[in-house]
Structure 1
Amino acid sequence: MAQAHVLTGASNDPAAPAIRRIGRADLVRALAQGWDDFSAMPSHALFLCAIYPAIGILLAGLTLGFAIVPLLFPLAAGFALLGPFAALGLYELSRRREAGLTVGAADALDVLHSPSIGAILALGALLMVIFLVWLATANAIYVANFGYAAPASIGRFIDDVLFTRAGWALIVIGNGVGFLFAVVALAISVVSFPLLLDRDGGAAAALATSLRVVRANPAAMALWGLIVAALLFVGSLPFFLGLAVVLPVLGHATWHLYRAAVVPDPNPRPEYRPQPKGPRYAADFPAVLFPWVREDR
């Protein structure tokens, strides 16, 4: 039963969310709204995303330290595949601000109370599998061109990649295959995670809706992918520090992109965060043991 809920959501026959056609103006508007959200709550966004530059620098250090320099670029590029899942807290902050609710850093953790948390984790696991397959594929491409021997030095590795036939093949094939992985990740996640925060439709319905949005808006989704890739590249310079701004803006913008591409649910579900309990007084005992009595008051 739990597995069925993860796949299909609250209903065994959920109605497919209606989608819209969007264009370049909608992408620009989503980015502007994402920046507006970031400007309204920068401390929250930075609190959530400051870890990403640190992770990037740590990955680079580990890569250099363990002599797997050829995987440095695949790690940095593949990390973007996990971005839609990592930005869950940002979607939640934008959702709450849009609804006129109070917003604090701790509210990003409301995703843990979502009825769709099982489906969210399932799609997150799918993205992780894609990320790991990408790393294995990138390593196989390198081995096919340079063999199993580790580079003698970083300078030698850069020289081999930029000025040899094998290096050119690595660049062309690696980027071509990486592009295919990015397309797959974008297609299955462009609106799926915001959708699961917004309604309990299940992982299968969320994934299918994301694919439908991409199929209905191929040009806009291709442009969105290019925008994301360009901003991530700019944000990674220098030393990934710009990601502390780029990631939250893109995360907030993705929520608004979802709002533009998917028609809102006519029967939105109530807030899923447990409401804080009011203060208890000694005079309430033993009535607190019988809550139905208190409900009649």
Structure 2
Amino acid sequence: MSDHNPLPKTPLRVRKVHPLRAWIWLVRGWADFMEAPQVGLAHGAAAALFGGFALWLAWDRFWVLAGAFSGFLLVGPLLATGLYAVSRALVRGERADFSTVWAVWASLDRRLIQFGILLTVLGTGWVITSAALISLGVHPPVTTPTDFLQRVVLAPQPGLFEIWLVVGALMAAPVFASSVIAIPLLMDRQVGVQRAVLTSWRAVLANPVATGLWAGVVMVLTLLGLGTLMFGLILVMPVLGHASWHAYRDLVVREKV
């Protein structure tokens, strides 16, 4: 559900926030979750079920598993679009339930679909790069998460895992900068994908500490969710989804039209 009044083509204004603002976003995300827990739990349960199914299906095919999780982590913010809509409805004092979520997805917004395809392509690129890097440096091949832990993460000779982390960070950083504000913005306003991405970048560049801290919070909580055999995702996904909406509201100035 986007606003139907197009905004001017001038760049959207972004604001600077306190470096520790990420904690406020998290608190507000929890508050929104408690206001509409049934919607949040449904999103979180769907994420946990997907993760559990991927783990069961591809346990002995590590790169298939890595691809599934990488794709989910990148496309996850898009799947949280319904949570953004619920947070927006709560701010406006409107009805916030499954009908709010349905209205967003029933619109079949092409901009969100385009952005989802872009994130999927980027995720595929990382999986291919990661697989090539580990395959060239580890013999025999890594086939299970246990192999990856023992022969890459806990390898007696350091180097490969550190390189893998650096390459992953270099590839993930621009994806985060492009999407942290863009998806809630696309849901909320009638702007093009390019304009949304550029606004997201400008918000990150104007607030490197606050958005960097937010990236760390998202990564740590997501890893905790994955590390609890996906059960943690039942809470992590909705709270982060609602919190991301509040990050967008703080970082992008609401234009009057």
- Give the structure-2-normalised TM-score: 0.89
Aligned to 1:223: 213
- Please state if 1:20 is matched with 2:15: yes
Structure 2 counterpart SS, 1:223: helix
Aligned equivalent of 2:223: 233
State the shift of 1:69 in Å.
2.5
Alignment partners' CA distance in 1, 2:249 and 2:70: 27
Instruction: Kindly report which structure 2 residues correspond to 1:188-207, keeping only aligned pairs within 5 A, or say none.
Output: 188-207=178-197
Paired with 1:105 and 1:111, the residues of 2 have a C-alpha distance of: 10
Distance 2:149 2:187 in 1: 43
Aligned identity (percent) is 31
Among 143, 147, 150, the alignment partner of 1:159 is 150
Residue 15 of structure 1 deviates from its aligned partner by 2.2
Q: CA RMSD in A?
A: 2.4
1:79: which partner in 2?
72
Task: Indicate if the aligned counterparts of 2:225 and 2:231 stay in contact, CA closer than 8 A.
Answer: yes
- Say if 2:81 and 2:104, in contact at 8 Å, map to a contact too: yes
Opposite residue 127 of structure 1, the aligned amino acid is: L
Q: 2:22 touches 2:211 (CA, 8 Å); kept in 1? A: no
Partners of 1:38 and 1:45 within 8 A in 2: yes
Q: CA deviation at 1:150?
A: 5.3
Query: What's the counterpart of residue 210 of structure 1?
Result: 200
Letter in 1 for 2:203: V
Counterpart amino acid of 1:52?
A
Structure with larger Rg: 1
Match of 2:96 in 1: 103
Q: Give the 5 Å matches for 1:128-207.
A: 128-147=120-139, 149=141, 151=143, 158-164=149-155, 168-207=158-197
Measured against aligned partners, the alpha-carbon deviations of 1:58-89 in whole angstroms (never above 9, x if no partner) come to 1112222xx32355456435532222211111
Asked if residue 39 in structure 1 is aligned to residue 37 in structure 2, the reply is no
Aligned mates of 1:243, 1:252 — CA distance in 2: 14
Q: Check if 1:126 corresponds to 2:128.
A: no
Q: 2:198 is matched by which residue type in structure 1?
A: A
Instruction: Tell me how far 1:18 sits from its aligned partner.
Output: 0.9
The structure 2 residue matched to 1:90, chosen from 83, 88, 102, is 83
Partners of 1:110 and 1:254 lie apart in 2 by: 20
Mark the runs of 5 or more structure 2 residues left unpaired by the alignment: none
Contact 1:78/1:134, CA 8 A, preserved across alignment: no
Q: Is the 8 A contact 2:43 2:237 kept in 1?
A: no
Query: How many equivalent residue pairs?
Result: 254
Superposed displacement of residue 157, structure 1 = 5.3
Is the contact made by 1:44 and 1:105 (CA closer than 8 Å) also made in structure 2?
A: yes
SS in 1 for 2:177: helix
CA contact under 8 A between 1:60 and 1:72: conserved in structure 2?
A: yes
Q: Is the 8 A contact 2:138 2:151 kept in 1?
A: no
- Secondary structure in structure 2 of the residue aligned to 1:17: coil
Code of the aligned partner of 2:196: A
Matched letter for residue 237 of structure 1: G
Alpha carbons 2:7, 2:191 under 8 Å: kept: no
1:23-67 deviation line (CA, Å, top 9, x unaligned): 234222211111000011111111122111111111112222xx3
> Contact (CA 8 Å) 2:52, 2:229: kept in 1 or not?
yes
Counterpart amino acid of 1:55?
A: F
**8 A Cα contact 1:71 1:138, kept in partner:** no
Structure with more relative contact order (C-alpha pairs < 8 Å, separation 6 or more): 2
